[in-house]
Amino acid sequence: MIKRYNYNLLYNTGSIIKNIEEAKDKIIFDYRYDNNKNIFKYEMNKNTIIYGLGENVRGINKRGWVYTSFNTDDPDIHETRSSLYASHNFIIIIDENKKFGAFFDTPSEITFDLGYQDIDCISVETENGLNVYIIEDDSIDGIIKEFREIIGESYIPPFWAFGFCQSRWGYKTKEDVLDIVKNYEINNLPLDSICLDIDCLDNYKDFTFNSSFDNKKDFITELKNKNIRLVPIVDAAIKKDGSYYIYNEMLKNKYYCMDKDSNPYFVGVWPGDSLLPDYLNNNASKWFGSKYKELLDLGIEGFWNDMNEPALFYSRNHVDEVFKYIGEQVGKNFEVEDYFKNKGMVIGLQNNLNYYKELYHNIDGKLIRHYDIHNLYGYKMAEAASLYFKEYNKNKRYLLYSRSSHIGSHRYSGIWTGDNASWWNHILLNLKMLPSLNMCGYMYIGADSAGFGQNTTEDLAIRWAELSIFTPLFRNHSAKGTRNQEYYNFKNIDIFRNILSIRYMILPYLYSEFIKAVKTNSLLYKPLFMEFSNDERTREIEDEIIFGESILLAPIYVQNASGRYVYLPDDYLEVRVKNAKEFITRPLTKGDHYIKMNLDEVVFFIRKGYAIPIYKEFAKNVYDINYDNLSWIKNNDNLYEYTLVDKDDNYRTYKIK
Ligand code: MIG
């Protein structure tokens, strides 16, 4: 059952697509308006679990920290952060005798104190008006299903987007791209797509290519004939450049975010001085969406949207002010405070909150301050693209994933989880985000495999790939200046080849389970406790998850470990895989097991009574997978029925004995 409570709603986010009557009774939280804030409190007991909050730091159980939804570009992702790139304001509270979900529908900053100030108390606080949806059901699955129903069906990418993607910030020329293709080919590594990052653009201008990409259309076609797609980046801001027609159109039509007097508000991002398109303005959104045509006409079928928190290096006004002041300091005799003041002024340029307060959107003729609807910016950018794709070709799926998001954008795009680092604990964080993201509607998800920031190591790249083969978006991506981490740059290319082959081996199951999870509003990844809620042990398990109907994943996330403890909440079949063709199995009983997992082995577990479809050959790309020649790994004694969604989304039912 779903109830809506209205607290002077400021702005309709569009996150909820069903109309729900306002409830008249008292909300389950202890509500008060105090100190200009809406405050929702709830007393926990010692066993209360809190799930949700999508892209965030810390555990699957979110209890014990304070999280703030305020989309932020900061690549330093560690456990004391409160805001990452996304606002996923849905939590599920599980008490001994009560379970409910709560969605705080607001475009503004909101804080979830889940036992921080007071270890036993939840306090959700926000200044602006909002709607709160309360969902009660007997089961956690039921709560999630009802929530996902009211936020609308999750985005589904094209089938090829489940293949492996190679990416790196720093690829610059057509030759760079050809070099990657060549290296993948000569090393017999599968590849479905390559991302083009900002250096492939002409001067950081969206929807362009730099001059090295001659004969673009032929080049794109040639690669596509090999089943390799190029996936260009689209940054949120548009370069100020009088010879750039997109800029000129934006200026002429006032499609930009403005200052309070409706003048263009110039900011600095990768293209230098830029304007932010006003994705919240209907006409501007339609206009921006139509710009994707430029690339669609060339045969491009996938995009990634970046810098859409929006990330801002400076505002023109502020940078002028700061450098004027600093210029006046030349030759002055400094006290140490003077030094720190000047230094602080420069550091304070980037992502300064004042910019968000000075920026305005023009929504139906009314100026709305950006700060108040900040969290919607990336969502609305994805919406602009997605609505245009439908117009361009309503029968085709396009790949789109975004860095910034807010519940609602899950209908239009997937997300990658931003600038992680080549740290072992980010493998674990990757794992823990999967169920939380699914709860909030995000299904096409993935992290930068092998790590974005910092230098990776070969064993980290291997272990991370051993998790990423099970996630819908599998992209090896790294930052400029870091060690080259394309798999062919390491010593044990054969290990990588084997692991990649397992991606394509498992893909029939992954794709099928993905589509079914989207269509039934259920989870592709679950905390163990959701499946085994009578088993107290599973309440606290944070480094194993259930993947689809029957697989349990327990990856290695510690350097130099060649095994780990795995708790099995039922009888399972251990599947020890070397590559798509070679694996061995052994039955294991419910309980604790120390499981050996050498670097060159992928180990996963299939629950008793089930079987999974696999493709038992090495594939070069997703189109190599022959759906008429699937095999099964079985852990069933009785007749077992599996409904497989094939690559054309046909449902085929198999009876497995
Ligand atoms: O400020 O386009 O998260 O994936 O490679 C950095 C360059 C800008 C941030 C993205 C990252 C991308 C990088 N971008």
- φ, ψ for residue 620, nearest 5 deg: -90, -25
pLDDT of residue 219: 98
Cα angle 600, 465, 410 (rounded to 5 degrees) comes to 155
Q: Report pLDDT digits (tens) over 29-69.
A: 999 999 999 999 999 999 999 999 999 999 999 999 999 99
Nearest CA to ligand 1 atom 1: 307
**What's the CA-to-centroid distance between 526 and ligand 1, angstroms?**
29
Task: Record the tokens describing residue 627, joined without a space.
Answer: 């759906």
Atom of ligand 1 nearest to the CA of 169: 5
Distance 386 CA to ligand 1 centre (A): 21
Amino acid identity, position 61: N
| Nearest to 230, CA basis, from 152, 278, 178 | 178
The DSSP call for residue 18 is S
HSE (side-chain half, CA atoms, 13 Å) at 411: 18
How do residues 269-295 score in pLDDT, each as one tens digit? 999 999 999 999 999 999 999 999 999
What atom of ligand 1 comes closest to residue 311's alpha carbon? 1
The Å distance, Cα 209 to ligand 1 centre, comes to: 17
Dist. CA 644 → ligand 1 center (Å): 37
Looking up tokens 């199951």 gives 509
Q: Which residue, by CA, sits nearest to atom 13 of ligand 1? A: 169
Ligand 1 mean position, distance from CA 353 (Å):
20
- From the list 440, 434, 432, 447, the residue with the least C-alpha distance to 407 is 440
Q: What number does the ligand 1 atom closest to the CA of 448 have?
A: 4
> Does the pLDDT of residue 319 top 90, yes or no?
yes
Provide the 3-class DSSP secondary structure of residue 162.
helix
With CA atoms as reference, report the closest residue to 469 among 489, 490, 449: 449
Q: Where are the beta strands (DSSP E) in 372-452?
A: 399-402, 405-406, 414-416, 445-446, 448-449
**Amino acid in position 420:** N
Average pLDDT estimate for 570-596 = 98
Q: What is the per-residue pLDDT for 170?
A: 98
Distance CA 634, CA 615 (A): 14
Which ligand 1 atom is nearest residue 418's CA? 3
Q: Report how far Cα 3 is from the mean position of its chain's Cα atoms.
A: 28
Q: How far is the CA of 561 from the centre of ligand 1 (A)?
A: 31
Assess contact for 279 and 382: CB atoms under 8 A. no
pLDDT of residue 258: 98
Atom of ligand 1 nearest to the CA of 306: 10
Protein residue closest via CA to atom 7 of ligand 1:
169
From residue 467, give the alpha-carbon distance in Å to each of 27, 67, 583, 603, 624. 41, 26, 17, 10, 22
* 184 Cα–ligand 1 center, Å: 24
Q: What does the angle CA 302 – CA 523 – CA 110 come to, to the nearest 5 degrees?
A: 80
Using the atom order of ligand 1, give the atom closest to the CA of residue 167. 5
How far is residue 379's CA from residue 383's CA, in Å, rounded to a whole number? 6
Please check the confidence at residue 97 and state whether its pLDDT lies above 90. no
Kindly give the distance from the C-alpha atom of residue 169 to the centroid of ligand 1, in angstroms, as a whole number: 7
From the number of C-beta atoms within 10 Å of its C-beta (0-12, 13-18, 19+), residue 133 rates as buried
Ligand 1: which of 166, 235, 306, 308 to mutate, judged by most atoms within 8 Å of the beta carbon? 306
pLDDT tens-digit map of 137-177: 999 999 999 999 999 999 999 999 999 999 999 999 999 99
Nearest-CA residue for ligand 1 atom 12 is: 169
**For ligand 1, what atom is nearest to the CA of residue 479?**
5
Side chain identity, residue 549: E
- The residue whose CA has the least distance to atom 5 of ligand 1 is 169
Instruction: Return the closest-CA partner of residue 338 out of 348, 321, 325.
Output: 325
Per residue in 394-422, is it b (16+ CB within 10 Å) or e — as a string?
eeebbbbbbbbbbbbbbbbbbbbbbbbbb
Question: CA-CA distance, 507 to 580, in Å (whole number)?
Answer: 11
pLDDT of residue 628: 97
Q: DSSP code of 205?
A: B
Measure Cα distances from 436 to 1, 60, 61, 415 in Å.
21, 7, 9, 13
How high is the pLDDT of residue 96? 85
| Secondary structure element (H or E) that encloses residue 584, with its range | strand 582-588
Cα of 185 vs centre of ligand 1, distance in Å, is 27
CA distance 599 to 494: 12
Query: Beta strands of 360-469 (E only): which ranges?
Result: 360-363, 366-369, 399-402, 405-406, 414-416, 445-446, 448-449
Task: Report how far residue 428's alpha carbon sits from residue 543's, in angstroms, rounded to the nearest whole number.
Answer: 7
Q: Given ligand 1 and candidates 419, 420, 449, which is best to mutate, with the most ligand atoms within 8 Å of its CB?
A: 419
Task: Give CA–CA dist 542/545, Å, rounded.
Answer: 8
Of residues 483, 441, 442, 443, the one with CA closest to residue 460: 483
Give distance in angstroms: CA of 198 to centre of ligand 1: 8
What CA dihedral angle connects 117, 122, 123 and 129, to 10 degrees? 160
Exposure of 513 in the CB half-sphere (CA atoms within 13 A):
23
In the predicted structure, residue 443 carries a pLDDT above the cut 90: yes
Counting atoms of ligand 1 from 1, which one is nearest the CA of 452? 4
Residue-wise pLDDT for 618-644, tens only, equals: 999 999 999 999 999 999 999 999 999
CA-CA distance, 39 to 125, in Å (whole number)?
5
Q: Which of 72, 73, 168, 169 to mutate to test the pocket of ligand 1 (most atoms within 8 A of CB)?
A: 169
What is residue 607's three-state secondary structure?
Answer: strand
Q: What is the C-alpha to C-alpha distance for residues 48 and 189, in angstroms, rounded to an integer?
A: 46
The pocket around ligand 1, CB under 6 angstroms, is made up of 169, 197-198, 233, 306, 403, 418-419, 477
Counting atoms of ligand 1 from 1, which one is nearest the CA of 480? 5
DSSP bridge pairs for 613: 632
CA-based nearest residue to 279, from 317, 314, 235, 245:
235
- In this prediction, residue 350 has a pLDDT band, given cuts at 50, 70 and 90, of very high
Kindly report, residue by residue over 500-546, the tens digit of the pLDDT.
999 999 999 999 999 999 999 999 999 999 999 999 999 999 999 99
Tokens of 412: 């239009």
- Residue type at position 125: E
The reported pTM is 0.98
Compute the distance between CA of residue 546 and CA of residue 271 in angstroms, rounded to an integer.
Answer: 43
Distance 429 CA to ligand 1 centre (A): 20
Distance from residue 307's CA to the centre of ligand 1 (Å): 7
Q: What is the percent of the chain with per-residue pLDDT over 90, rounded to a whole number?
A: 100
Q: Which residue has the tokens 């508000």?
A: 265
* Alpha carbon nearest to ligand 1 atom 8, residue: 307
Is there a contact between 495 and 599 (Cβ–Cβ < 8 Å)? yes
Ligand 1 mean position to 23 CA, how many Å?
44
Mutate to test the pocket of ligand 1, among 307, 426, 473 (most ligand atoms within 8 A of CB): 307
- Residue-wise pLDDT for 391-407, tens only, equals 999 999 999 999 999 99
* Side chain identity at residue 163, one-letter code: G
Residue 233 CA, ligand 1 centroid: distance in Å: 9
Q: Residue 555 pLDDT more than 90? A: yes
Chain centroid to Cα 625, Å, comes to 26
Residue type, 175: E
What would the two tokens of residue 176 be? 């760079």
Return the amino acid letter for 12.
N
Return the ∠ at Cα 500 (arms to 494 and 504), rounded to 5°.
Answer: 140
Ligand 1 center to 87 CA (angstroms): 19
Ligand 1 atom closest to 419 (CA): 3
Q: Is the dihedral of CA 474, 480, 482, 485 positive or negative?
A: positive
**Residue 376 backbone zone (phi > 0: left; psi -120 to 50: alpha; other: beta):** alpha
The answer on pLDDT for 320 being more than 90 is yes
Give residue 180 CA to ligand 1 midpoint distance, Å.
20
The answer to whether 285 and 383 have CB atoms below 8 angstroms apart is: yes
Mean pLDDT of the chain: 98
Burial 424-440 (b: 16+ CB within 10 A, else e): bebbbbbbbbbbbbbbb
Whether the CB-CB separation of 360 and 369 falls below 8 Å is answered with: yes
